[in-house]
């Protein structure tokens, strides 16, 4: 009843103006030293009933106001605790962020300090998968750039000295102490981990769109993470862009290049990979339009290239098949067992070839050593590529004409021997 009376008073002040004017003399709850006792209204007097109801309404309104003020004070304290503060002194600047639990993940801030040597040190809290703030993006990317500079210096030292430098040599080359070098390398590793955790969903979403092109999803995510870190090293926060917008294209580029170079057993050039994708797309479109498999001429006309190019790429871009692949569903027979080999692999051919080599060696033994060597080099009898007279002359320090003369003399001697008739039998 008291609350209803208070609402009525607030909604129509003209109707209860006498009661409201009398409320000015009612003390507030802060000044009351005795407990508040609410007595039931007496039915003897209507004016006393209105006065008691008005007094109760004023007390309720004062209580609500005190509760609202307490809520606002608590809310302001919470915001002040979240925003934190900055403290300067003792050669260090600390940025503290209160612990905040979001979906069961504890996220801490980072602490930035400078040591006595002027080197910057960044300490990270517990790694989380939350989105990084612009300040954190700039800080982490700066750590990556510093680490990339140190790695470039290390590679330069390795190329100059021919071996990996020690930590002391590395620190001396970059002009800092070993402790500062270790701190910068540790900051780089922590920054890489935080960036990978924060933008893992972006990498997965991009990698998922390239499935079915020769690499598994895990490999695509790994290549995308490498592109993410490569783009973060080149990110410039002063231009006003977000890190996620900038590294998107670096992630895509890393994934596309990985598919082009690692999806096949036999690597194809980048231009050929693009042409393979165009031919596959044209074949799909034409098959749907013509309701049959298109010919090479139709594909070449559709993508405006030569027919020979389409035929060559289509034949050479086929996926290799393992000869150990089972032919039947039971797996008892492999492709190697039923696939015929060349004629030289038959036992008869192998024996005939071995006997012919023995007869050739017997014929060459009838010549002098220089004549036999020239014949072996000229005809490639030693299993190597045949050489010209000029190349043989450079090896044996003879003129081209002299080598030709020795070759003619050696062949004339072989024609006069009886072993030539035995060699003629192998040509029949």
The larger pLDDT score, comparing residue 51 to residue 284, is at 284
Q: How far, in Å, CA of 262 to CA of 270, rounded? A: 12
Q: Which two tokens stand for residue 99?
A: 């612990």
Helix axes 369-379 and 389-396, enclosed angle (nearest 10): 140
Q: Is the pLDDT of residue 108 over 90?
A: no
Q: Is the pLDDT of residue 213 over 90?
A: no
CB 316 within 8 A of CB 386: no
Average pLDDT over residues 327-348: 70
- pLDDT in the model for residue 154: 86
- pLDDT in the model for residue 325: 78
- pLDDT in the model for residue 402: 92
Phi, psi angle pair for 101, to nearest 5°: -100, 125
Write the pLDDT tens digit of every residue in 15-43.
444 444 443 444 444 444 444 444 444 44
The larger pLDDT score, comparing residue 271 to residue 279, is at 279
Q: How far, in Å, CA of 335 to CA of 173, rounded? A: 59
Average pLDDT over residues 136-147: 86
Q: Is the pLDDT of residue 286 over 80?
A: yes
What Cα–Cα distance (Å) separates residue 374 from each residue in 326, 387, 399, 412, 414? 49, 9, 13, 14, 14
Average pLDDT over residues 104-133: 50
Q: How far, in Å, CA of 369 to CA of 375, rounded? A: 10
Phi, psi angle pair for 37, to nearest 5°: -120, 120
Q: Where are the beta strands (DSSP E) in 287-343?
A: none
- Range in 100-114, 125-139, 413-427 with the lowest mean pLDDT: 100-114
Q: Is the pLDDT of residue 189 over 60?
A: yes
Q: How far, in Å, CA of 333 to CA of 341, rounded? A: 16
Question: What mean pLDDT is reported for the chain?
Answer: 75
Q: Is the pLDDT of residue 345 over 80?
A: no
With tokens 């060559």, the residue in question is 312
- pLDDT in the model for residue 59: 66
With tokens 């005795």, the residue in question is 34
**pTM metric for this prediction:** 0.47
Average pLDDT over residues 297-325: 86
User: How would you class 36 by CB atoms within 10 Å of its CB: exposed for 0-12, middle for 13-18, buried for 19 or more?
Assistant: exposed
- pLDDT in the model for residue 238: 85
Q: pLDDT grade, residue 404 (50/70/90)? A: very high
CB 389 within 8 A of CB 400: yes
Q: Smallest Cα–Cα separation from 174: which of 157, 199, 196, 195? A: 157
CB 333 within 8 A of CB 326: yes
Residue partners of 146: CB distance under 8 A and separation at least 6: 184, 187, 188
Q: Smallest Cα–Cα separation from 106: which of 81, 131, 82, 126? A: 126
- pLDDT in the model for residue 401: 92
Residue % of the chain over a pLDDT of 70? 69
The sign of the dihedral angle between the CA atoms of 183, 186, 191, 197 is: negative
């Amino acid at each position: 009843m008291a609350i209803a009376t208070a609402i009525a008073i607030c909604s129509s002040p003209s109707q209860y103006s006498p009661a409201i004017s009398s409320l000015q003399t009612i003390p507030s709850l802060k000044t009351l030293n005795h407990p508040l006792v609410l007595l039931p209204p007496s039915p003897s007097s209507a004016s006393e009933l209105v006065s008691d109801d008005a007094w109760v309404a004023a007390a309720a309104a004062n209580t609500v106001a005190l509760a609202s003020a307490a809520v606002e004070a608590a809310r302001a304290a919470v915001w002040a605790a979240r925003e934190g503060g900055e403290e300067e002194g003792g050669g260090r600047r600390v940025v503290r962020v209160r612990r905040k639990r979001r979906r069961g993940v504890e996220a801490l801030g980072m602490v930035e300090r400078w040591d006595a040597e002027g080197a910057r040190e960044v300490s990270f809290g517990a790694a989380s998968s939350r989105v990084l703030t612009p300040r954190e993006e700039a800080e982490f990317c700066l750590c990556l750039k510093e680490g990339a500079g140190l790695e470039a210096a290390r590679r330069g030292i390795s190329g100059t000295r021919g071996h990996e430098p020690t930590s002391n040599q590395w620190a001396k080359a970059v002009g800092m102490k070993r402790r500062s070098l270790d701190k910068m390398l540790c900051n780089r590793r922590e920054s890489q981990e935080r960036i990978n955790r924060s933008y893992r969903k972006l990498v997965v979403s991009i990698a998922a769109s390239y499935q079915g092109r020769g690499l598994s999803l895990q490999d695509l995510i790994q290549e995308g993470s490498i592109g993410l870190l490569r783009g973060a090293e080149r990110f410039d926060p002063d231009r006003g862009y977000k890190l996620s917008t900038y590294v998107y294209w670096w992630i895509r580029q890393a994934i596309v290049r990985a598919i082009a170079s690692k999806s096949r057993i036999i690597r194809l050039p980048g231009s050929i990979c693009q042409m393979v994708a165009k031919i596959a797309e044209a074949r799909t479109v034409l098959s749907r339009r013509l309701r049959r498999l298109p010919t090479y001429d139709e594909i070449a006309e559709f993508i405006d290239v030569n027919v020979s190019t389409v035929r060559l790429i289509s034949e050479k871009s086929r996926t290799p098949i393992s000869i150990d692949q089972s032919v039947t569903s039971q797996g008892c027979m492999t492709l190697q067992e039923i696939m015929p080999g060349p004629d030289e692999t038959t036992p008869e051919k192998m024996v005939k070839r071995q006997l012919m080599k023995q007869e050739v060696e017997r014929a060459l033994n009838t010549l002098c050593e220089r004549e036999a060597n020239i014949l072996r080099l000229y005809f490639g009898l030693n299993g190597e590529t045949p050489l010209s007279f000029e190349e043989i002359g450079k090896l044996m320090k003879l003129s081209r004409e002299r080598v030709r003369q020795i070759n003619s003399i050696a062949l004339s001697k072989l024609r006069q021997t009886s072993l030539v008739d035995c060699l003629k039998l192998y040509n029949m």
